[in-house]
Structure 1
Amino acid sequence: MSPKQQRGEATADRLLDAALSVYATSGEQGLTVSAVTSASGVSLGSLYHHFGSMDGLATALFTRWNGRLLDELVTALTQSRTARTGIRALVHAYLRFIQEHRAASFFLHSSDPARHMMHAGQQVRDLQNARLVEIAAWLEPRIRSGEIAPLPGPLIEALVMGPVVATARRWLSGIDDQDLDEAARILPERIWRSLEP
C-alpha cells in the first residue's frame, strides 16, 4: 500500500471512529457533517471524498461493525464441534460483543442505520450474505445428520437470533436491568431446545 493510500485509509478510519463517538453521545440527531468533521479533525471535503455523503458514512460504519460482529459469530461456530456447543458459543459471542463494543452495538441495534442505508441495501446484504453462507455451511451437515431439526433457514435464524437480539436491545436501551450474565446462562439451553430434532 502506498503512503497516499495509507493516509487515505487513516483518514477514513478517523471519520468512522468520530462518527461512532458522535452517535454514541448524541444519537442520530447529533450525527451531522459538522459534528463528525469537528470530532475527527478531518475536512468536509475529505468526508465527501471518502464516503460521498453522511448516508455513505453511516453505511460504512454499519458495514464495519456488522462485519466484525458476524466474524465473531462465524469464528465461535466454526470452533465448535457439535450443534449444541455451537449454539452456546454463538450466543456467548454475541452477548460478549455487545458488552465489549457498546457504542457500536447501540448503533447496530438502533433503527437509525436502516434509514441511512436504504440506498445501499443490496451492497450491505451482499456483504452480510458472504458471512451468512459460512454459518449456513456449518449448520447444513448438522441438519442432515439429524443433530438439528430440519427447519427452514430463516426459521432457524429467528429461533437463534431473535431472543439474543431482543436481549441485546433491552440491555442497550437501559429500559430495565437486563442481566447479560444471566442471559448468557439461560438463553443457550432454551434456544438449543427449540432446535432439537
Structure 2
Amino acid sequence: MAQERSLKTRVKVLDAARGLIVERGHEQVSLKQICDCSGVSNGSVFHHFGSKEGIVRELFRTERGAYLHTIAQAITAYVGDPCDAFAAGTRAALAYQAANPQRYERLIAEFVDSEWIRHNADVWLAVAAEEEQPVIRWAAGHFASGALPLFPPAFFQASFLGPVDLLCRAHRQGRLSGELELHGEALAQFVAAGLKQLRNQQTN
C-alpha cells in the first residue's frame, strides 16, 4: 500500500511538472509551482526527487527514452534491406516530433541545446545505452553479412537523428514550408541511399 502511494505521488509530481514545463519552459517553472500544481508538499517532493533538478532529470530520462524507444522499434521491426530500416527509423523520429512538437521542444530539445546537458550527460548516456541495445543486437548479423556498413552505433544515430532534429526545428520556426511528412520522406530516402553507398564502398 505504501509503495502504491509512493508511486502515485511520483506520477502526480511528474505529470504536473511535465505540463508546466511544456507550457512555460523548465527555466520558468519553480519547485513551488510544481508543488502547487501537483498538490504534493515540498517535503514529499524532496523525499522522492531531492530537488527540482531531480524532477527534471527524471522527465528528460523518460521523454528521451520514449523517443528513442519508438525509433528503435521502427528499425528492428523493419523487414527488408537493413539500410532501409534506418529510413524507417527516420520516419518514426519525424512522426514523433510532428505529433508532439511542443512537448519535444520543451522536454528534449531545450535540454540537449543547453548547458544543462553538460552537467547531466550521465542521464543522456544511460538512456542512449539502454535504447541502443536492441538495435545493436539486431544490427550484429547484418554487420557480419555485410548488409550494413560497419560503423559505430553513434555514427548511425547521428546520421539520421541529427538531420531529423534540424529539419523539424526549421519547420517549427517557419523556415521550412509545406508538409513536414513530405520533407521527412525525402530525408528518409536520403539516409537509406547514403548507407547503401557506404555499404557498396566497403564491400567493393
Bin the TM-score by the shorter chain. 0.7 to 0.9
Contact 1:159 1:194 in 2 (8 A): no
**1:29 to 1:156, Cα distance in 2 relative to 1, 3 A:** closer
Contact 1:47 1:53 in 2 (8 A): yes
2:70 corresponding residue in structure 1: 72
1:161 corresponding residue in structure 2: 161
Q: How does 1:20-169 map to 2 (within 5 A)?
A: 20-82=18-80, 83-106=82-105, 107-111=107-111, 115-116=115-116, 120-169=120-169
1:68 Cα deviation from its structure 2 partner: 1.1
1:143 Cα deviation from its structure 2 partner: 2.6
AA in 2 matched with 1:41 = G
Give the count of matched residue pairs: 194
- In structure 1, the residue corresponding to 2:147 is in which secondary structure? coil
**1:112 to 1:129, Cα distance in 2 relative to 1, 3 A:** closer
- In structure 2, the residue corresponding to 1:86 is in which secondary structure? helix
Contact 1:15 1:37 in 2 (8 A): yes
Unpaired segments ≥5 residues, structure 2? 200-204
1:193 corresponding residue in structure 2: 193
Point out 4+ residue stretches in structure 1 off by more than 6 angstroms: none
TM-score by length of 1: 0.86
Unpaired segments ≥5 residues, structure 1? none
Superposition CA RMSD, Å = 2.2
Contact 1:59 1:117 in 2 (8 A): no
Using the aligned pairs only, state the percent identity: 22
CA distance, structure 2, for counterparts of residue 171 and residue 14 of structure 1: 33
Q: Once the two structures are superposed, what CA deviation does each residue of 1:44-65 show, in whole Å capped at 9, x if it has no partner?
A: 1121111101111000001111
Q: Once the two structures are superposed, what CA deviation does each residue of 1:104-140 show, in whole Å capped at 9, x if it has no partner?
A: 3112011378644655533542243022122222223
TM-score by length of 2: 0.83
CA distance, structure 2, for counterparts of residue 112 and residue 27 of structure 1: 13
CA distance, structure 1, for counterparts of residue 5 and residue 117 of structure 2: 26
